[in-house]
Chain A
Amino acid sequence: MKIIIIIFYFFLSFNNLNAESTVIDSGKIFKNLRCLICQGQSVADSNSDFAQTIKLVVRDQIKEGKTEKEIYRFLVEKYGEWIVYKPPLNKGNSILWLLPYLIFLIGGIMIFILLKKRPNG
Chain B
Amino acid sequence: MKKKIIKTSITLFFLFITLVFFIGLNKNSVYDTTNLVGEKLTHINLNHFSKNLKITEQDLKKNNFNLINFWSSWCGPCRDEHPFLLRLKDENNINLLGVNFKDKKNNALKFLREFGNPYDLIAEDKFGKNSVNLGIYGIPESILINKDLIIIKKFIGPITEEDFKYIVTAINK
User: What 0/1 pattern do residues 6 to 17 of B give for CB contact below 8 A with A?
Assistant: 000000000000
Complex interface: chain A residues within 8 A of B137 (CB): 36-37, 50, 79
Q: Contact at A79–B135, with CB atoms within 8 Å?
A: yes
Q: Which residues of B contact A50 (CB under 8 A)?
A: 137-138
Asked if A82 meets B138 with Cβ closer than 8 Å, knowing A56-B127, A56-B129, the reply is: no
A54 within 8 A of B: yes
Count of A-B contacts judged by CB separation below 8 Å: 41
Q: Are A57 and B35 in contact (CB under 8 A)?
A: no
Q: Mark A48-90, 1 if CB is under 8 A from B, else 0.
A: 0110111011001000000000000001011110100000000
CB-based contact A78/B31 at 8 Å: no
Task: Say whether chain B's binding surface is mostly helix, strand, loop, or mixed.
Answer: loop
- Whether B31 contacts A82 by the Cβ 8 Å rule is yes
Mostly, the A contact residues are: helix
User: In the complex, which residues of chain A have a beta carbon less than 8 angstroms from the beta carbon of B33?
Assistant: 36, 79-80
Instruction: Tell me, in angstroms, the Cα distance from A79 to B134 when the chains sit together.
Output: 9
Given A36-B31, A49-B102, A79-B33, also A54-B138 (CB < 8 A)? no
Residue B36 at the A interface, CB < 8 A?
Answer: yes
Question: How far is A60 from B132 in the complex, measured between Cα atoms in Å?
Answer: 12
**Interface residue ranges, B against A (CB under 8 Å):** 31, 33, 35-36, 39, 102, 127-129, 131-135, 137-138
**8 residue pairs A–B, Cβ–Cβ below 8 Å:** A36-B31, A37-B138, A50-B137, A53-B129, A57-B132, A75-B132, A78-B133, A78-B135
